[in-house]
Structures are given as C-alpha cells and as structure tokens.
Chain A
C-alpha cells in the first residue's frame, strides 16, 4: 500500500514544486515519483496483507495491476514534454492531478471494502473530468469535459444506488462478507435487492470501462480531450476498472454466476459488434482509437464472462499488451498531429495525417505498425497472446458462440487498424522528417520492444501472476 501514501505525498510535493520559476524540473520529478511508487508497489510481493482496517487488500494480482497502471502512467507522462513548451499551461497541477488519479486507480485495484471502491472510482473520475477539460481554450475539450462529467455523475449515481442496495441486503460492505452471504444459499432472484444491487453496481463500473451500451460518452470525450489524456484514460482507467470487476466477480459473486454471466455475455457481444462496426466508418484516427478502446473492453469482458482460473493471467496480460500498444499509438499520433498542424492550422488527427509518414520517418512508421499489429492481435506481438489467452478462458468454459463472434469482430478490426499502416507506407504525402526528442523516442522504442518481446515470450509475464 506504499504507493498510495507515496503518490499522495508526491502529488502535494509536485504542487509546491510548481511554485518554482523553472518548469523544467517538473517532468523528471514526476517520472521519478512514479518510478519510486512502481518500485515500492513490489514491497508486498508474495504476501497477502490487509491494510487500513481491512479496507484494502494487497495480493500479487493487485500488485500486477498496480504495476501496469504505474507503467502506463510513466509512459504517458514521459510523452508530455509538449506541456512545457506551452506558456499558459500549468503542468504542476496536471501532473499532480495525474498522481492523485493514480491513487484512485490503485484503490479500485485493491479494494476490500466497497466504500474504497467507490472512493477510488470517484478520485479517478473527478481527476479525469478535469484533465479532459484541461485544454481550456479549446471548445471541444470543454464540451468533452462537461459531457463526461454529466454522464459520469449519472453513472456514479447508479453505482451508489447499487452499493446501497447491496448493503441493505447483506449488511456489509466487506467483500468477504458479501461472499459468504452469497454462498450462504440465496435462491435465484431472491432477495431481489441483492441482484438489483449487483446489477446497478456492474452498470456503474461498465460505464467507466466504456462497455456498450454504456459507452456513448467515450468517442466524444476521447476525441475532445487532449491526446495525452486520452492515452491516460484509455489505459489507466480501463485497467483499474477491469481489476475492480475481476475482484468483485471472481471473489464475491461467483455464487450467482448464472445471474450476471448472461448479462455480461450480452454486454460483451453488443460491445464487440457496435465498437468494431462503428470504428470502420471513422475518418479520424483518434476517434477510431476511441472505438478501438471500446472493442478491447469487449475482449477483456470475455475473460470476465468466462471467469475462471486463467482469467487473472489473461486480464493482466491483456491489459499490459493493450496499454503498451495504445500508448505507443497515441505517442506517434501526438508527434505527427503536432507536426502536421503547424502554424495556425487546426490539429489534424485524421488518417490522412499519416499519409506517406513511413518514407521520411521509418522509425515512427515502424512503431505505429507494431502497435497496430498488436492491437489487431497479429502473431509475434503481445496483442496476439492477449487475445489468445482471453479466448482460451472462454474455450475452457465452453462458450464457443461467443468466441466465434469475437474472432469475426477481430477480423473486422483488421480493416481499421491496417488503414493506418496502408496510409503510412502506400499513400503519398508531404510529411517531412519529424524531429522527435530523444527521451520521447526511447519510450516509444521501449514500448515497441516490449510488445515484440512479449509476443515472442509471453511467459515472461504470464508466469508471474
């Protein structure tokens, strides 16, 4: 639990650092803070500890998810050098908010008490509302923030209602109490409050991980938010949300699988179909990435639908593979769109921005290609093994029709992922050589290498969990 304390303290420290004249120290300091928290998260490795009066539980699984979240945050922050070039930006505040949001994410990952889940979700969400609107003079950014906030509070309301109902039936917020209550022999559909409570709670979290039909906010918000925070949202929030769902469903509510399993299956299918089909029609790369993130929520849901022994491994691996590839893709988009926009022109985040990119920038082209291949699940990338493991869980559970849908949708996804690759390598464009700062470049290269290494040696991570 050290990271929670550390990150809170570091966040406050960052706000003080913001008073300094030079902003140059902020980025390295933030990276250092996250790195320290990353290291500190492994202190509890191999032990099962309850913290803070049984409010949080630290297990290897929660540490793995924490590590993924912190790694994602580290990579996103290291891509944030453009902040420092912008005169009017307040990087100290944004960095501090990111650190605070990580605290929320870690709470969602390791909660033992539903109150902590709620607090975690809220800490994370409120931080996200602010970050979405951080591009203050941009109308789209403001609109996105407001939309996100309104719909988010709506979802929070549903979720809180669900928590209240759960407390009302079982008399406890503690997961293990809920578990024994559920396993203590409840008849199907009765008490109704238990089922209703679980349903509402699920809907609340499904909203956060942008599963259909609760995903409507995602494309608008992802597109409107500054690209950097889109990357942050689509990785950190998603990982934390799925960790929370896994904790709930695989521990407390396995007893009533027959109830929620079917609902999740329906949500999974709708998510996969809607996201993949809609993504095909997008002309904006960033908006496509929003639908892509919805579709990956669908794949992750498969592992939950078929919850079993391998679901944990599958979810951890998939989250890692997805986060790394997504951040690499957004990282390339960031430099490319900034380069294309130039003086006075609006930022170009469409597919056309990538036309002919690879000719003058083979490295960026390669990084983007690997990221797209990984997201599409092509072998020799981490994404392939992620999908493979997720599909294996469903196969072991015998849910084959779901697999058929998932594989077909995966085939559809190749269309929109490969469009970028085609644009970069086969289309003509006027892209000149783009100068990428060394550290920025190293992070992108590291992400690419990680994607390929995990694609060849998946057991490096799989054997840990």
Chain B
C-alpha cells in the first residue's frame, strides 16, 4: 500500500508544480516560482529513493501498482498502472535526480527571463510526462508519456517564441517526432492485434512462446524502432535535435540530452524480448546506429556553436547506445544512458554557464581563455569532457567500453568503426574545451567586462554532476578490472524472457580478461591520442576555426555544412509534400467546401421550414399531438403490415 502511494506521488508532485506555476503564471511572486518548481522534482526524487530502497530491501521483487481501470471496451482493457522493476527504477533515479539538479540550475539561468514561471511550469510538466513514460506498465501509458514529452519539447524549443527561426526549429522537432510516433503507434496496434493486450507482462509472457525470426515480431520491432528513431534522433530522423538547441540551455540538458532522447533506448530495453526474437531488426538497428554515430561525430568535428557540438555529440552517443542494444548488450546500452545523462547534462549546463557569462554568445571562435574567469565551470567541464571521451577511470570509459566489448564479440568491423567514432568524439570534445577555455579571450571588450562565474544555484548542479561523471562508471566495473558488473547483475532478471527465447545471444563473455583489457587499452589509447592531437592543434598552435565565409576544401565544406542533409530533405521531401499539400488544398477548396456548403445550406433550409411548425398556438400544438397519436394508432393497429408487405412483394 505504501509503495503504491509512493508510485502515485512520484509523477503527481511535478504535476502539482506545473499546476501551481502554470495557473499562477504572473501571479506567483517571482521569489516563490523557483522553490515551487524545484520542490516537486526533489520530493519525487526522495520518493524514488525510498521506493528504491524498499525494492532492494524486498529482494528486488518487481511489482505493478494498479491505480484504476482506465479503458474497458469490448476486448480492450487498459489499466492505468505503474510497473516498478529494475529498469523503471534506474530510469526514475536518472529522471528525477538529474531532473532536480537541472530544475535548480534553471532558477539561476532563467530568473531574469520574462517567462520564468512559464518555463519552470513546462519543465515540471515535462518531468511528469517523462515519469509516466518510464513508469507505465503498458504501451499505451508509455505512449501518453511519449507524446507528452514531445509536446513539452516542442513548447520548450520554441520557448522564445518571438524568434521565427526558433519556432521553425520547434515545428521541425514536432513534425519529425510525429513521423516516428506514427511508427510507434502502428507498432502498438500491431502488438494489440497479435497479443491481445498492451500490458508488458502479458505481451512478453506470450512472446516467449514464439520462434526467432517471426514475421509479425519483425514488423512490430521495426515499427517500434521507427518511433525510437524519431525520439532518439537516429538516421534519418535526427536533424531536429541539433536545431532543438534553440531552446534555453537547461532544456537542452534535460530533454535533449539526459532524459527524453533516451526514451527510445528505454523502449527497446523494455521490449527486449521482442527484439531478441528478431535478429534482423537488431542487424538493421546496428547499421543505423553505427552510421548515426559516425555521421554525427564527423559533423561535430567542424561545428563552431558550443551547443551544436554538444548536440551532434548527443546524436552520436545515442548511436552508441543503439549499437549496444543491437548486439543484445541491453545493460550496456542502459549503462551508457546512465553515464551519458551525468556527463552530457554536465556539459550542457557547463555550456549554459559559459553562454550566461558571455552574454548569450555561443560561437566558440569568440571565446577562449575562459578558465581564468569561470574556474568552477572550467573544472567541471573538463571532467565532463574526459568522461565523454572515454578516458579511464571516468564514467564514459566504462560504459562505452562495455558496448564496444560486446560489439567486438559480434563483429570486428563494427568495433573498428566504433573506435574511430570514439576517436572523433575525443577530438571534437577537447577541441571544444580548448577553444573555449584556453588561449586568449577573443570576444569583444564589453563581453570581457561582463565575464563572471555563475551563481551557486548554477554551479552546485555542475559540481554534483561532475562528481557523478567521475564515479558513475563504478556502478558496473567489469570482471576484467576486478569488479563484478553490479549493474548487469541487478538488471539481469529483466532479460529472463530474452534468455529463454534465444540463449545463444546471452552466452556470456567468451573472451578472456586479457583480450578485454587489450580492447580497453586500445580505445583509451585512441581517445588520449585524439586529445593530444587536439591539444597540439588548438593550444600549442593556437589555431582558430575559419569564419563562415572562408574558402574550404570540398570535403571540409561538405562536413561543415552537415553533409547538406537538411537541404537534401528540403528538396526531396519538404517541397514535394508542400506541393502535394497545395494541390490537395485547391481541390479541397473546391470539392470539400462545395459539399460542406451544400450540406449547411440543406440544414438551414430544413431548419427554416421546421421552425415554422412552432407557431405558438396551443390549438395547433394539440392538433399535432392528436394527429401523431392517431397516426401511430393507425399504423400499428389498423394496417396489417404483413399483408401490405406481401402485396408489395417485399
């Protein structure tokens, strides 16, 4: 009973925060907005902690908290219930924990914005939907959360809605996600028709009775993966994420790095039984993930906007997560979600702190030497950079390595490509770090005058996240390094179904400790090497990227312009669709409006006639009544219908 109460409180508290700040926008005093908005996430984080400790104390027993019967139509029964198990608890910890920190940070970051209260309300609403997404015990509740976070993402990307290009970015994110959502929705329909239920427990239980390579499961998993492509920004639906950086930086940290974009990974891990049943889907996923990781990393090499670099880095890291999933390393994928949430949130918040100090300047060509002015930001950003680059013993090293080790067992070429991507990651991150914090200040004198370290509400989250980025990897130290893969052990029960349908995919590590150590050595060495190259280029030689207008060699030009993917989509999809829309519109104008107009005319005419019957005279009313009564009597009693119908030969 107590656990159920906690389950209700966890999403409810942020929702209350949303209601308070949303309804009270411009009425709640500014000093109260922050505490109100932060209280929800923090309290719900405490509730998650308590739930988590109960769960551990209770012997890791998963359970379902049924809130109420929600929809009950014919064969369709959908409960509003929450699933509490290893997976949802990990996600809950990340969402509420990192979420609380980012809420706290937002107080400092957004305080002087005109829409401060509205912003905090949207953040709270986002958290509510995200919690629904991870807690729901069936696909429909997940879908509600899925759509809800999409809505909040839209609202927050276009938060500064007086800027047209920001609005376009928001719309782009929304439309691209809709494409993915359509796939997800079709997947849910197919799940319902196949299994007769959308409840995880029912679906997975009946799925374990199916054979590997089942066609229906293939379709289901592909459709679900289309949904994941949209939400988690994989090729071909990734272009919205870099544009989404138009939103305020805390939004980028919370929604577009730490939580929402990992929903696709969560969904795949949640449906791991289905995916294990369909090796072909996993192969496709692996290809797409690898391509995404490399493409995004290479674009990141030449970007000059501090947030754009981080955005492409996010796309690339999401690719790594899917790469892990594609070789059935579900824990590896989730582990990377976890560590990525720490260091990427840290990096975004650090970038926010820089942007804050630089009076909204985002171009790293105009920065430099900031470490003297923003020491805390610098040190924490450095930690984040080391962590994401995969240099031991920071968090990113362990999680990325776990994925790469599994890939190695599966396919050596993919592994090599993965290491290449990891080299690029290290390079562009250190390039970013060096250009921002080292060398001479390259901005205007006025910007220099304003440089200041951010307030405590902003630096405190940075420090907490920095600590987590350092020690986060210890959660799952592999056996080869003397650990015992604690996270993998913890999450193992989730894959019982998968193990049952395809034991081969879970054969356990076949390679020895020395082989694993060698792999680790290579990837760490490559990352270090890239960092050193970046150091030589941008610190020793003090190179600064050329301005936009400069002449570039052809390959550099292609990469600098993000492979012209956006332009490609514009020509291939947007314009034809728009032309089709224009065409249909003119047809619609003519045909549909004509029909609608005719119906409206008919209704009005009939109505005008009927109205006249109501003439106000009692005599005629009574006459009409009696006439009707007489008619009924005549029709029912004095006409023999069987003989009439027989006479008419009907």
A and B together in one complex: yes
Residues of A bordering B, CB below 8 Å: 147, 150-151, 154-155, 158, 189, 192, 195-196, 199-200, 203, 207, 213-214, 216-217, 219-220, 259, 262-263, 266, 274, 277-282, 412, 415, 457, 459
Contact A213 B603 (CB under 8 A): no
By beta carbon, the residue of chain B nearest A146 is B618
Q: Name the 5 nearest CB pairs between A and B, nearest first.
A: A216-B621, A213-B628, A281-B607, A280-B607, A277-B607
Contact B621 A203 (CB under 8 A): no
**Most B-side CB within 10 Å, residue of A216, A266, A415:** A216
By beta carbon, the residue of chain B nearest A290 is B614
Contact B624 A278 (CB under 8 A): no
Show 29 residue pairs from A and B whose CB-CB distance is below 8 angstroms, ordered by the A residue. A147-B621, A150-B622, A151-B622, A155-B625, A192-B637, A195-B636, A199-B633, A200-B629, A203-B632, A213-B624, A214-B628, A216-B613, A216-B621, A216-B624, A216-B625, A217-B621, A220-B614, A263-B632, A263-B636, A266-B632, A277-B603, A277-B606, A277-B610, A278-B607, A280-B603, A281-B607, A281-B610, A412-B603, A415-B603
Q: Which B residues touch A154, using CB under 8 A?
A: 622, 625
A65-B632 Cα distance, complex, nearest whole Å: 30
Q: Which B residues touch A259, using CB under 8 A?
A: 636
With contact pairs A189-B637, A277-B610 given, residues A459 and B621 touching in the complex (Cβ less than 8 Å)? no
A280-B72 Cα distance, complex, nearest whole Å: 35
Contact B603 A219 (CB under 8 A): no
Contact B608 A281 (CB under 8 A): yes
- The majority secondary structure among interface residues of chain B is helix
Minimum CB–CB distance from B142 to chain A (whole Å) comes to 19
Chain B, interface residues (CB within 8 Å), range: 20 to 34
Contact B633 A151 (CB under 8 A): no
Minimum CB–CB distance from A351 to chain B (whole Å) comes to 15
By beta carbon, the residue of chain B nearest A416 is B607
A147-B621, A150-B618, A259-B636 known; 12 new pairs, CB 8 Å cut-off, are A192-B637, A195-B636, A196-B637, A214-B625, A216-B614, A220-B614, A262-B636, A263-B636, A274-B610, A279-B607, A280-B603, A459-B72
Minimum CB–CB distance from B493 to chain A (whole Å) comes to 33
Q: Which B residues touch A158, using CB under 8 A?
A: 629
Q: Which A residues touch B632, using CB under 8 A?
A: 199, 203, 263, 266
Flag whether B548 is at the interface (Cβ < 8 A): no
Contact A220 B608 (CB under 8 A): no
Minimum CB–CB distance from A228 to chain B (whole Å) comes to 23
A259-B641 Cα distance, complex, nearest whole Å: 12
By beta carbon, the residue of chain B nearest A260 is B636
By beta carbon, the residue of chain A nearest B619 is A150
Contact A459 B68 (CB under 8 A): yes
By beta carbon, the residue of chain B nearest A147 is B618
With contact pairs A151-B621, A192-B637, A457-B68 given, residues A278 and B614 touching in the complex (Cβ less than 8 Å)? yes
Flag whether B509 is at the interface (Cβ < 8 A): no
A213-B624 Cα distance, complex, nearest whole Å: 7
Flag whether B604 is at the interface (Cβ < 8 A): yes
- The majority secondary structure among interface residues of chain A is helix
Minimum CB–CB distance from B623 to chain A (whole Å) comes to 10
A198-B3 Cα distance, complex, nearest whole Å: 58
Flag whether B578 is at the interface (Cβ < 8 A): no
Flag whether B616 is at the interface (Cβ < 8 A): yes
Residues of B bordering A, CB below 8 Å: 68-70, 72, 603-604, 606-608, 610-611, 613-614, 616, 618, 621-622, 624-625, 628-629, 632-633, 636-637
Minimum CB–CB distance from A287 to chain B (whole Å) comes to 9
Minimum CB–CB distance from B611 to chain A (whole Å) comes to 5
A151-B621 Cα distance, complex, nearest whole Å: 8
Contact B611 A151 (CB under 8 A): no
Contact A199 B611 (CB under 8 A): no
Q: Which A residues touch B633, using CB under 8 A?
A: 196, 199
Minimum CB–CB distance from B291 to chain A (whole Å) comes to 41
Q: Which B residues touch A266, using CB under 8 A?
A: 632
Q: Which A residues touch B613, using CB under 8 A?
A: 216
B69 is contacted by which of A207, A278, A282, A459 (Cβ under 8 Å)?
A459
Minimum CB–CB distance from A403 to chain B (whole Å) comes to 16
Q: Which B residues touch A262, using CB under 8 A?
A: 636
By beta carbon, the residue of chain B nearest A189 is B637
Contact B611 A278 (CB under 8 A): yes
A151-B636 Cα distance, complex, nearest whole Å: 25
Q: Which B residues touch A199, using CB under 8 A?
A: 629, 632-633, 636
Contact B604 A281 (CB under 8 A): yes
Q: Which B residues touch A155, using CB under 8 A?
A: 625
Minimum CB–CB distance from A338 to chain B (whole Å) comes to 26
Contact A281 B611 (CB under 8 A): yes
A257-B632 Cα distance, complex, nearest whole Å: 16
A50-B134 Cα distance, complex, nearest whole Å: 53
By beta carbon, the residue of chain A nearest B615 is A216
**Most B-side CB within 10 Å, residue of A263, A281, A412:** A281
Minimum CB–CB distance from A346 to chain B (whole Å) comes to 18
Minimum CB–CB distance from A277 to chain B (whole Å) comes to 5
Q: Which B residues touch A203, using CB under 8 A?
A: 629, 632
By beta carbon, the residue of chain A nearest B621 is A216
Q: Which B residues touch A277, using CB under 8 A?
A: 603, 606-607, 610
Minimum CB–CB distance from B97 to chain A (whole Å) comes to 30
A412-B608 Cα distance, complex, nearest whole Å: 14
By beta carbon, the residue of chain B nearest A202 is B632
Contact B607 A195 (CB under 8 A): no
A154-B629 Cα distance, complex, nearest whole Å: 13
Contact B610 A278 (CB under 8 A): yes
Minimum CB–CB distance from A175 to chain B (whole Å) comes to 23
By beta carbon, the residue of chain B nearest A220 is B616
Minimum CB–CB distance from B492 to chain A (whole Å) comes to 38
Q: Which B residues touch A415, using CB under 8 A?
A: 603
Q: Which A residues touch B629, using CB under 8 A?
A: 158, 199-200, 203
Q: Which A residues touch B614, using CB under 8 A?
A: 216, 219-220, 278
Minimum CB–CB distance from B599 to chain A (whole Å) comes to 9
A259-B611 Cα distance, complex, nearest whole Å: 31
Minimum CB–CB distance from A456 to chain B (whole Å) comes to 9
A213 is contacted by which of B604, B606, B616, B625 (Cβ under 8 Å)?
B625
Q: Which B residues touch A263, using CB under 8 A?
A: 632, 636
Q: Which A residues touch B604, using CB under 8 A?
A: 280-281
Q: Which A residues touch B608, using CB under 8 A?
A: 281
Q: Which A residues touch B621, using CB under 8 A?
A: 147, 151, 216-217
A219-B624 Cα distance, complex, nearest whole Å: 15
A200-B626 Cα distance, complex, nearest whole Å: 11
Minimum CB–CB distance from A417 to chain B (whole Å) comes to 14
A167-B614 Cα distance, complex, nearest whole Å: 36
Q: Which A residues touch B603, using CB under 8 A?
A: 277, 280, 412, 415
**Most A-side CB within 10 Å, residue of B607, B613, B622, B628:** B607
**Most A-side CB within 10 Å, residue of B70, B606, B621:** B621
Minimum CB–CB distance from A308 to chain B (whole Å) comes to 15
A217-B613 Cα distance, complex, nearest whole Å: 12
**Most A-side CB within 10 Å, residue of B608, B613, B632, B633:** B632
Q: Which B residues touch A196, using CB under 8 A?
A: 633, 637
A214-B626 Cα distance, complex, nearest whole Å: 9
Minimum CB–CB distance from B632 to chain A (whole Å) comes to 6
By beta carbon, the residue of chain A nearest B602 is A277
Minimum CB–CB distance from A169 to chain B (whole Å) comes to 15
A192-B70 Cα distance, complex, nearest whole Å: 49
A158-B629 Cα distance, complex, nearest whole Å: 10
A158-B613 Cα distance, complex, nearest whole Å: 23
A336-B332 Cα distance, complex, nearest whole Å: 63
Minimum CB–CB distance from A274 to chain B (whole Å) comes to 6
Minimum CB–CB distance from B128 to chain A (whole Å) comes to 15
Q: Which B residues touch A216, using CB under 8 A?
A: 613-614, 621, 624-625
A189-B606 Cα distance, complex, nearest whole Å: 36
